[in-house]
Structure 1
Amino acid sequence: METQPPHAGPFAVGMFSAGDGPAFPGLVRDDRVLDLRTVPKLWAGPGEEPTTRALLGRWDTALPLLHAAADSLNDEHGERHSLPALRVHAPVEPRQILQSGANYRTHVIDLALAHEPADGRPAERVRAETAAMMDRRAAEDLPYMFIGLPSSITGPHDDVVIPDWCAKPDWELELAAVIGRPAHRVPADRALEHVAAYTIANDLTAREAVFRRDMPEIGTDWLRAKNPPTFTPLGPYLVPSAFVGDPGDLRITLQLNGEVMQDESTKDMIFDVARLVAYASQTVRLLPGDLVLTGSPAGNGMHWGRLLRPGDVMEGAITGLGVQRNQCVAEGA
């Protein structure tokens, strides 16, 4: 993968640990990390657990303090670490994960073609019908969203454990919007005001578990297909939205063992970040630290006919958000 800057803007925030010590919130600038527990103005008091989720809960007041902390990294105050010496954890523990499916035009067409229709329709007809379906969904403002579990999250450099029952594990690199201000029934033209930051999520899927063969009429089984432990590598950092620029013009790239599998722009999204956040908020009260995953572009394993195996290494990057690297291991290995 080509060399990318660690993140956009002057700093990012995340969760880190040194040795066997507890995880702590840190501010990343270049190759240094400031322990944010040593910046007392950020925290409500001694009884508050210092986490990035707590910062997101007061993001409007925390962000100027983070800017000041970044500017003072060369001062003598505060505890500093070398980034290579730290373990990088998932950058936030969300209460809720809202996930978007079938949100990239090329990806949806690829999946429709991969699941060859039993009625023998030619590929061009399948492609045209799928494109018409997406145009209809966009016009009717109907994203497809479902709920993920926080217990599936793992760190950006941790192993991904393939369950012993999972025969078809697949990768799905995605842009994740991180909520700051609570959002309930917000319109699309105000939705981005509630997005504090962005990060990277790899929303792995057990493809054989998506559709219940014993109950085809009931639809998809996202519980089993999406939520085993470690199936959502997250991070490395939370990059403030002001540093990211247009979330509808970012490059998403995933390499498998050094070979590019996904390489697409978020321009290919059917529903942009604002519409997804607004749509989710019509039903759910989104809370600080919650994630809105925006769907995965073309280039998944189903398209390539090559699914994940123990020993595989996935390396994913999104413009301005850094790089995550995860190795696959078999359960019990």
Structure 2
Amino acid sequence: MIWHGLATYDLNGVERPGLVVDNKLYDLAQLALAGQPEQTIGMPDVDGLLDAWDAWVPRLSSLAEQAPGLAAQGRLTAIEGAAYALPYRPRRIFGVASNFYEHADEMGTQLAPRAESQPYVFMKAQSSVIATKATVLMPAETEKLDWEVELGVVIGQTCRHVSVEDALSVIAGYTVFNDISARDLNRRTDYPFKHDWFRGKSFDTFGPLGPWLVPAGCIADPQNLRMTLSVNGEPMQDGNTSQMIFSIAEQIAYLSRILTLQPGDLIATGTPDGVGMGRGVYLKPGDTMTAWVEGIGVIENPVALESP
């Protein structure tokens, strides 16, 4: 399968679905018209594609194969001057906490032996997501704003009680996710419960996502992908999905025992070490974060103070 990314692009204030092939962006409807004119089915947005993912996967793959040839023949023109919008809007966001031993160590978290443990999952507000290049707004309530590069797993099937062996088959694709966290708001002293990850991670703009969705068939081994994050060009995180405590498949199986997973659900699968709290360094207005996952792409987001 030729590599391709399913994107949503913004051109002159209008958002449309696109397909990225060979580092070129093509309008998905125009590509379908040029490559498969006999198929008159309308082209939905990316959210709509996810709702019928199994039916669309082979067609998208075929269009990706055709795109370079159609462009060479002059039958298709790459989109220039467009901005990448949010590729899609997650139905729900599930975050997996302390899923890398080194990250747990830097946070001072004492984990039970893996054999005696299960994934620890929290939910993050869907309204937190923003596109690459969009600004992360630092609320007045925090002085310890932090970063976390993560592999985002997007579910493509309605499913329940999925086995570990079958779990990868329900994945639509992968994306880059930056789990922005207000560390000083993740903890509470006014209740007997120590942590409040929903509050510390769910502010608007705390979920940079993108730049596109890479179909699962384009990623040979999601459990062996390097991921990095830098702040103002200075390397901070450099890890690999192979270092996860609980694999992607184990996370899906665990979640599907609790609830029915749905197309568009996003699982943020955990972050490696190198976050700001472990270094005693935090984000400040004017900083720019660059998060990258091998085989997927890169997102870049500046930081600014939130206006009152």
Q: Judge same fold: TM > 0.5, yes or no.
A: yes
2:13 counterpart residue number? 20
Equivalences for residues 140-219 of structure 1 within 5 A: 140-215=116-191, 217-219=192-194
Describe the superposition over 1:77-116 as per-residue Cα deviations: whole angstroms up to 9, x where unpaired: 9864335x11101211111111100100000011117xxx
Matches of 1:269 and 1:329, distance apart in 2: 32
Matches of 2:205 and 2:2, distance apart in 1: 29
Name the aligned partner's letter for residue 90 of structure 1.
Answer: L
Matches of 2:120 and 2:75, distance apart in 1: 45
Matches of 2:225 and 2:150, distance apart in 1: 11
Matches of 1:150 and 1:33, distance apart in 2: 26
Name the aligned partner's letter for residue 19 of structure 1.
Answer: N
Matches of 2:117 and 2:160, distance apart in 1: 17
Q: Structure 1 residues 50 and 295 mapped into 2: Cα distance closer, same or farther (>3 Å)?
A: same
Matches of 2:284 and 2:27, distance apart in 1: 37
1:310 pairs with 2:270: no
Describe the superposition over 1:276-295 as per-residue Cα deviations: whole angstroms up to 9, x where unpaired: 11111111211111101101
Q: Structure 1 residues 77 and 220 mapped into 2: Cα distance closer, same or farther (>3 Å)?
A: farther
Q: Does structure 1 conserve the Cα–Cα contact (< 8 Å) formed by 2:174 and 2:213?
A: yes
Name the aligned partner's letter for residue 24 of structure 2.
Answer: R
Name the aligned partner's letter for residue 215 of structure 2.
Answer: P
1:288 counterpart residue number? 263
Aligned identity (percent) is 35
1:33 counterpart residue number? 25
Q: What value does the CA root-mean-square deviation take over the aligned residues?
A: 2.3
Matches of 1:244 and 1:331, distance apart in 2: 37
Aligned residue pairs: how many?
301
Q: CA deviation at 1:157?
A: 1.7
Q: Does structure 2 conserve the Cα–Cα contact (< 8 Å) formed by 1:180 and 1:289?
A: yes
1:82 counterpart residue number? 79
Secondary structure in 2 matching 1:328? strand
1:331 counterpart residue number? 306
Q: CA deviation at 1:9?
A: 4.5
Name the aligned partner's letter for residue 28 of structure 1.
Answer: V
**Structure 1: runs of 5 or more not aligned:** 1-7, 114-129
Q: Does structure 1 conserve the Cα–Cα contact (< 8 Å) formed by 2:91 and 2:126?
A: yes
Tell me the TM-score normalised to structure 2 length: 0.91
Describe the superposition over 1:240-284 as per-residue Cα deviations: whole angstroms up to 9, x where unpaired: 112212122111100111111001111221001000111111112
Describe the superposition over 1:101-153 as per-residue Cα deviations: whole angstroms up to 9, x where unpaired: 0100000011117xxxxxxxxxxxxxxxx3xx342xx2135110011111000
Name the aligned partner's letter for residue 56 of structure 1.
Answer: L
1:54 counterpart residue number? 48
Matches of 1:31 and 1:177, distance apart in 2: 22
Equivalent residue for 1:100, pick from 68, 79, 96? 96
**Structure 2: runs of 5 or more not aligned:** none
Matches of 2:56 and 2:257, distance apart in 1: 27
